[in-house]
Amino acid sequence: MRRHEVTDQAWAVIGPLLAPSRMGRPVRDRRQVLNGILWKLSTGAAWRDLPERYGPWKTVYERFRRWSADGTWDRLLAHVQQHSDAVGEVDWSIVCVDSTIVRAHQHATGGKRGPSTGTKRGDHALGRSRGGLSTKVHLACDGRGRPLGIVLSGGNANDCTRFEDVMDAIRVPRTGPGRPRTRPDHVIADKGYSSRKIRAYLRRRGIAHTIPERADQSAGRHRRGSRGGRPPGFNRTTYRHRNVVERCFGRLKQWRGLATRYDKTRESYQATVTIASLFLWI
């Protein structure tokens, strides 16, 4: 087994969900195809440079696209999250929210536009920021630094505008009957998420939070005097746990195909982030 290939332990978890259908012509070994996909995402190389041991590069690429379109990667991630939650390995006591900028390679541009009116560049989660075209990965992770919710946007998007989307993306299925678990006990975020709207959203859902107040907001509240309201609660000891999301981003960006975006479409890059997140759980 080579460095970028799936281990026997990981294959035992996700292999049954990739079982071939009983009808139709024989298909290429799915573990071989998955190893080819992992090699490509780990190295950031072009699909055409895929080593021959993984089979024809077009076959591996088409399987990646098919599994991205039919939600296979999302089902695999939900499956491992469900299993981890069932055995008590998901730390719901603290969920940290943050984002990271990923620079887009020149090959990531030129994605297909929509019919008639055309698709804007932002619809492929590409935006122009100070460093050029980039994508922003918004992430919520549990107290052990494993991804629970993932949202993509253009690199010029403000963090606070995607906060509710990230929280809504947290949906861990249960092994028995009942709705997926979506609500953590406590949320930690940095000053970029300091807003009345976000705090009101968390209060409505009964979620405690630790978000430092920005200096301009604090100054404005003091200027209004008694009308400015009470300062939001802030616990420095609790806030120190926010570094788990930074460590999570560090582990995700060890995948070179994620650390620099080469995918033209939102769907393909979303699949790349999902696959990297999947293997943080296994």
Sorting pLDDT into bands at 50, 70 and 90, what band is 119?
very low
Residues 56-109 have pLDDT tens digits of 999 999 999 999 998 999 999 999 999 999 988 999 999 999 999 999 888 877
Asked if the model's pLDDT at residue 242 lies above 80, the reply is yes
Per the document, the length of the chain is 282
- Whole-angstrom Cα distance, residue 133 to residue 156? 9
pLDDT surpasses 90 at 152: yes
Whether 269 and 123 have beta carbons less than 8 Å apart is answered as no
Q: Does residue 146 have a pLDDT over 90?
A: yes
Q: What is the pLDDT of the chain when averaged over all its residues? A: 85
pLDDT tens string 154-165: 888 888 999 999
275's enclosing H/E stretch is helix 266-281
91-264 folds as Nucleotidyltransferase; domain 5 (3.30.420)
Q: Are 35 and 5 in contact (CB under 8 A)?
A: yes
- Residue 24 reports pLDDT greater than 50: no
Residue 252 and residue 257: Cα distance in Å, rounded?
Answer: 10
The pLDDT of residue 109 is 77
Share of the chain above pLDDT 70, in %: 84
Domain segments of the chain as ranges = 91-264
The residue with greater pLDDT, 230 or 202, is: 202
